[in-house]
Amino acid sequence: MSDDIKKGLLGIVVDETEISKVMPEINSLTYRGYAAQDLCARCDFEEVAYLILNKELPNKKQLKEFKKELSKEITLSKNLINILKQIPKKSHPMDVARTAVSVMGLEDKETKDNSPEANLRKAIRIFAKTPTALAAFYRLRKGKKIIPPKKKFGFSENFFHMCFGKVPNKEIVKAFDVSLILYAEHSFNVSTFTARTITSSLSDIHGAITGAIASLKGPLHGGANEEVMHMMKKIKKPENALKWINNALDNKGVVMGFGHRVYKSGDSRVPTMREYFKRVAIIKKDKTFEKIYDIVEKVMIKEKNIYPNVDYPTGPTYHLMGFDTDFFTPIFVISRITGWSAHIMEQHAANKLIRPLASYKGNKHRKVIQLNQR
């Protein structure tokens, strides 16, 4: 393979962005210049969503208006609810998320309007409605009735309410909020690049986000948090962990939740999420997965010098919160809609069709032989 070919676009800078960056000088993911861990400490998820979409943190009045707008847009149409009821219960929730956003595009009167103002309005609608659609399916597939959202609840509280019919204590809600902040945006990752590529053809925001969801479904991207939990369930208990990880490394197995193309000194989001994983484990009085976490992490660092990424603590945290494993990545979706939307609007603002080249290595020119002579 030629040195000119960069598989996976590794190391290729394809555009500029103002939305996020991993700043090497502080080894931290930043949103609009703010360190993600600082945002986790001082803001709720709605504040960070506003920042990503509007470029600045909101003041009290702006935040109140933003939450009011989300509350106004949170309910689903009867048509979308009926479609969700018809989806096979065994469907993967990521496919449900993709379908729901597509239906929203069919229903939205501004779908064809790609002006900045219309795209922001549509982004808010998608952001508000997608958790409602996913929570509805969460219950429908269990044979339970859909629980409508309540205006008195915040974003994270409402998701728990719509999924489980109750809201946990504030510490668990905060842990969930933190996970959403840490998942909200991460520059030109594969799903974001998918969204920007679709947008570059001047397609609509619903189509771009639908494509991004399909991209995020893959286990090498968003699906990693689910794979982490599958791994931990296989290990079962802490006393099995050392043998399991050594066996996996001896057999050159893939250990999910470790390594990241961007971070060289460890994912800066991990310490914050790890702390909230610990807090949730204490509240739930279950340290089984925390102990497995520590054993596997130590071996991976010692033997491979590979550090965890944010999916490693997030997977077991969601499990302890009570979510089904195949719903971990859809939770990623409801957060990342903010980042995708910001990138879609940024792409529209300075667009150029994304059309890379390929180096052909197929057959040389051949003549077509008629069917009866082949």
Q: Give the pLDDT band of residue 266 (cuts 50, 70, 90).
A: confident
Using the CB atoms, write b or e for 299-315: b if 16+ within 10 Å. bbeeeeeebbbbbbbbb
Q: Is the pLDDT of residue 2 over 70?
A: no
* 215, 333 Cβ separation under 8 angstroms: no
Q: Is the pLDDT of residue 347 over 90?
A: yes
At 277-335, the pLDDT tens digits run: 999 999 999 999 999 999 999 999 999 999 999 999 999 999 999 999 999 999 999 99
At 24 the pLDDT is 78
Q: Is the pLDDT of residue 12 over 90?
A: no
Q: Give the pLDDT band of residue 1 (cuts 50, 70, 90).
A: low
Residue 204 CB contacts under 8 Å (≥ 6 apart), including other chains: 105, 111, 112, 114
At 182-230, the pLDDT tens digits run: 999 999 999 999 999 999 999 999 999 999 999 999 877 878 899 999 9
At 143 the pLDDT is 97
What are the φ and ψ backbone dihedral angles of 217, each rounded to 5 degrees? -65, -30
Residue 365 CB contacts under 8 Å (≥ 6 apart), including other chains: none
Question: pTM (2 decimals)?
Answer: 0.94
Q: Is the pLDDT of residue 233 over 70?
A: yes
Calculate the average pLDDT of the chain: 95
Burial class (CB in 10 A: 0-12, 13-18, 19+), 102: middle
What are the φ and ψ backbone dihedral angles of 84, each rounded to 5 degrees? -60, -35
Catalytic residues: 221, 260, 311
Coil, strand, or helix at residue 367? coil
At 15-24, the pLDDT tens digits run: 999 999 998 7
At 114-129, the pLDDT tens digits run: 999 999 999 999 999 9
Q: Is the pLDDT of residue 263 over 80?
A: no
Domains of the chain: 31-220+327-349 (1.10.580.10), 224-321 (1.10.230.10)
Q: Is the pLDDT of residue 145 over 70?
A: yes
Q: Is the pLDDT of residue 158 over 70?
A: yes
Closest to 175 measured CA to CA, from 151, 158, 156: 156
